[in-house]
Structure 1
Amino acid sequence: MIDLSSHAMIFNRGYPRDYDGWAAMGLPGWSWKHCLPHFQKMETFAEPEAPWRGNAGPKKITRSAASFPLYEQFLRAGEQAGYSLTPDHNGQKQEGLHVAQAYIHNGLRQSASSAYLRPAMARPNLKVITHAQVMRVLLEGTTAVGVEVLVGGRKQRFHCGREVILAAGAFGSPQLLMLSGVGDPAQLREHGIGLRIASPHVGANLENHPGVNIQFETEVRHSMVSHSDMWGACVWRWNGLCFARGWVPPTSLKQALF
């Protein structure tokens, strides 16, 4: 998972074949056909309806404003190099050049907190505890029945009525499982953690996307630098802060190629 409160706000669902690959390895609930309805349910895409997109979800997805002339030249150069242009890389076809999409609504970041948590804060069945650290998941046999939390320097236990949802991210979730005794027996033994469930793949096989930065030089008149003098910087800042528009805000990534 990605922390939607700190990442670059770019929205990419992922490659459908990756999901089907996970299903083929023994996770049938992670196939593309199973995950697509959840993607559709979570989003409101600010463009005409399409069979693979959602239009009534809490998270607002918008197209990046790639209005600077150099952005258009990037797309045309890619086509001349033999790559296709995909109108929606989160839709039917991901491969190709595209204008980026972002977790942004009215110029503001659409985090999981702002989309899901804050609208539900007034519910009587919701209690949010801050400045707390989950220490481990409580298990009865192989069933999760609650969590142990450090609050204000004191350990407290919270037991669930139905289920425990573990959503601590790609690093935090396996760490909590291992602290709870779920993981590779040898690694748990090395750290003095009692084994509850032997699962050697927990904490292993992390998949990440490598990034390679390639920079090219262009004439100043074709670059954003030509608009970065004192007056241009003031215009950028004014448009960004007051109207949430312009070439620079709200995210730096405007286009990409898969």
Structure 2
Amino acid sequence: MSDSKSYDYIIVGAGSAGCVLAGRLSEDPSVNVLILEAGGSDKDPLIQIPLGMGKMHQHRMHDWGFDAEAEESVNGRKIEAMRGKVLGGSSSINVMAYVRGHRGDYDRWAQKGATGWSYEEILPYMRRCEDWEGEENKYRGKGGPIRTQWAKNDDPLLEDWKQACVDAGYKLTEDYNGGDTEGVGVSQSTQRGGERCSAAVAYLHPAKSRHNLKIEKNAYATKILMNGNKAIGIEYSKNGKLIKANADREVLISGGVFGSPQLLMLSGIGPADHLNDVGIEPVVDLKGVGKNLQDHMACLVHYTRPNAGKFRDLMRFDRMAIAMLRAYFFKNGPATVLPGGLHGFIKTRSELAVPNMQLMFRGAAPHAHLWFPGIKKAYTDGFGMRPVLLHPESRGEVLLRSSNAKDKPRIIQNFFSSPNDIAVLREGVRRIRDIISQPALDHWRGVEVAPGQDIQTDEQIDNWIRQTTVTAHHPSCTCQMGTNEDAVLDPELKVRGVEGLRVVDAAAMPDLVSGNINAAVLMIAEKASDMIKGVDPLPAAEGA
């Protein structure tokens, strides 16, 4: 079956990047755009209410259901690899953290061959993305689609936590997305008016009434249609039927770090040996497709909290029910506030060019649950910190399980294949213990639950890390841009050796940024939209 209409652009994936592309490209009324999303609507109240995130994660709602392959390096575990399958993609299910990374990340990209992607060149697109609640300056933008704001958590623990960080030798930063990206500072998030501000909310919904934009939900892309080495359209499945849609200008793949390389390989674009192994005839032998997988690994050092916080009180069933209703109908109240509030970005060695460790602060117990007197006992309150390995040396890959488009890809993370990675995380555990042992937290600190006081030697800590570490859900780099032989994309995000085809999402990153990745993905798509339109890039922010 064929779609009777041809489009100028077909976008595969209405995630963070795809929503930006759809919104920006359809600004031109003479251009027709089709965007395909395998998931459904983002109208679930659990998406819109910030605190609904916990229930979505618990039940893996609006999620592709990916898990990494079992690996001995993490004691044979299959670590979940949650990715959003819904309008807005992972921006509809993530923790809403807004972290741009360090300027050195982008300068490193440019030095590696991603010309045009230095910090001064990408900063104008970061500013164009956002509508910052603070003062506009040379780093922060006003009036953009994505609302960014300070964390609203007023837990008194946070002020003492900051003091403990200072006492342990770490500096504070007023704005880690501004000029001083190293240190401990108040968290920032993508929220507007008490609700999640996803890429769908910011870019797609405002554009959905445009006559030149067609949004197809529950539409699963199965193959890129090729004419020789030119991409001419997409085959997708919807309601049990295969549909073919033609693209007169370009096909834009925004399927995410796992989905984008999977679709390329299903279409014959990838490592020829692997494609032959699964019965797919190679069209373009591109060895880097699916390679270079990187992700941030983290573990949780946590303690009991003898003086229970307000969040534990909120988790009483009747109070939470009222809070959720209040958040849904009136867009305010405690269910619009997340129990975090601080982020830290530090170097474990002074000679490093960028931070190699992120500290994620958690002001609640890791296994918080609803409770009610006489029915279910309240849990013991707690708090903790996650050390996050920002620049792993280990590299994984994404492979096809078969030639069937509906089979989930094989995700091989190769966690800790470089011994330096676990050593850095171990150092992070020790540093967090030092921070939490400071006198400023004496009033808050109870018993160390994890790793536990009996876990002290390097070997013991390493074993605990292997048993408990999880992904921070920042997978990237499986279709890296650059100019070296492993690059899948050129610096304009065009697939090498293929005409009319680009990949625009986290897969395009050459390597990981120093923090959560959603801000970088939004920026990549903003910059890509100008490249696709053929307009001059925004002037570089010289001297920033």
What TM-score, normalized to structure 1? 0.89
Looking at structure 2, the residues matched to 182 and 229 of structure 1 have their Cα atoms a distance apart, in angstroms, of 49
Pairing of 1:241-252 with structure 2 (within 5 A): 242=330, 244-246=332-334, 249-252=336-339
User: Which string of whole-angstrom CA distances, capped at 9 and with x for unpartnered residues, describes residues 221-254 of structure 1?
Assistant: 6x346745859946982765545244x6333331
Looking at structure 2, the residues matched to 30 and 98 of structure 1 have their Cα atoms a distance apart, in angstroms, of 26
Identify unmatched segments of 5+ residues in structure 1: none
Candidates 244, 259, 272, aligned match of 1:157: 244
Candidates 268, 271, 296, aligned match of 1:181: 268
Identify unmatched segments of 5+ residues in structure 2: 1-15, 17-88, 346-544
1:14 aligns with 2:112: no
- The answer for the alignment partner of 2:139 in structure 1 is 52
| 2:304 alignment partner, SS class | coil
Amino acid at match of 1:85: L
- The answer for the alignment partner of 1:37 in structure 2 is 124
Contact 2:149 2:190 in 1 (8 A): yes
Amino acid at match of 1:31: S
Amino acid at match of 1:210: M
Q: CA deviation at 1:159?
A: 1.2
Pairing of 1:71-110 with structure 2 (within 5 A): 71-110=158-197
Looking at structure 2, the residues matched to 193 and 219 of structure 1 have their Cα atoms a distance apart, in angstroms, of 59
Looking at structure 2, the residues matched to 225 and 64 of structure 1 have their Cα atoms a distance apart, in angstroms, of 15
Looking at structure 2, the residues matched to 46 and 56 of structure 1 have their Cα atoms a distance apart, in angstroms, of 10
Number of aligned residue pairs: 256
Pairing of 1:57-76 with structure 2 (within 5 A): 57-76=144-163
Amino acid at match of 1:55: K
Q: In the superposition, relative to structure 1, how do residues 138 and 14 fare at CA in structure 2: closer, same or farther (>3 Å)?
A: farther
Higher RCO (CA < 8 A, seq sep 6+) = 2
CA-based RMSD:
2.4
- The answer for the alignment partner of 1:120 in structure 2 is 207
Q: In the superposition, relative to structure 1, how do residues 199 and 30 fare at CA in structure 2: closer, same or farther (>3 Å)?
A: farther
Looking at structure 2, the residues matched to 151 and 142 of structure 1 have their Cα atoms a distance apart, in angstroms, of 26
Q: In the superposition, relative to structure 1, how do residues 198 and 44 fare at CA in structure 2: closer, same or farther (>3 Å)?
A: same
- The answer for the alignment partner of 2:323 in structure 1 is 237
1:211 aligns with 2:291: no
Looking at structure 2, the residues matched to 21 and 198 of structure 1 have their Cα atoms a distance apart, in angstroms, of 27
What TM-score, normalized to structure 2? 0.44
Amino acid at match of 2:168: A
Contact 2:223 2:234 in 1 (8 A): yes
Contact 2:173 2:183 in 1 (8 A): yes
Contact 1:60 1:105 in 2 (8 A): yes
Q: CA deviation at 1:120?
A: 0.7
Q: CA deviation at 1:187?
A: 1.2
1:140 aligns with 2:140: no
Looking at structure 2, the residues matched to 225 and 114 of structure 1 have their Cα atoms a distance apart, in angstroms, of 27
Pairing of 1:186-205 with structure 2 (within 5 A): 186-205=273-292
Looking at structure 2, the residues matched to 123 and 163 of structure 1 have their Cα atoms a distance apart, in angstroms, of 20
Q: CA deviation at 1:135?
A: 0.8
Amino acid at match of 2:212: N
